[in-house]
Every structure is written in C-alpha cells, then in structure tokens.
C-alpha cells in the first residue's frame, strides 16, 4: 500500500510523459492511464460487485471481518 504521508508516490516520469504526449497531440485523448494500478482498476470495474468487494476487502485485510447477516434500513442509518 502507498503511504502518502511518507512521500512514497513512485516515479513521476510516466506522468510527465503522459502530459507531454497530451500537450503535443493534435487531438488529445480525454483520459490518459498512468500508473501501476490502472490495469487492475480496469479489470476490477468489469467484475460483478460481489467479486469486486471481496477482492478489495482482501487487499485491505478486511476479509476476516465478520459480516452482518441482517439488513439495515435507511431509518436506522439516520440515528
């Protein structure tokens, strides 16, 4: 996991290259994918929500948290 407070953001060269490409393009793309997690994010976006939630929870170490068996109504959330 990236610790933003520690300044571990990774190399800036890919971002600078993407900006240069966009500036020099006659018709620039609307979005430029830069970084290591971009492909993983694209794959996760295509997965069913239940599979995606399980994968993200596992990544953050939340897979061992016991899930609630009941449902919560909107009135309970207003508390």
**pLDDT tens-digit series, residues 17-74:** 999 999 999 999 998 888 777 878 888 888 998 888 888 888 888 866 666 666 666 6
DSSP for 22-69, please give it: HHH-SS--S----SSSHHHHHHHHHS-HHHHHHHHHHHTT-TTSPPPS
pTM: 0.44
What lies within 8 Å, CB to CB, of 43 at 6+ separation is: none
8 A C-beta contact, residue 10 and residue 36: yes
8 A C-beta contact, residue 47 and residue 55: yes
């Amino acid at each position: 996991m990236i610790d933003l407070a520690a300044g571990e953001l990774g190399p800036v060269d890919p971002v600078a290259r993407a900006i240069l490409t966009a500036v020099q393009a006659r018709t620039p793309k609307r979005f430029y994918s830069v970084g290591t997690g971009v492909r993983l994010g694209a794959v996760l976006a295509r997965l069913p929500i239940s599979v995606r939630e399980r994968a993200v929870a596992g990544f953050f170490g939340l897979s061992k948290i016991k899930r609630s068996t009941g449902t919560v109504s909107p009135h309970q959330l207003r508390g």
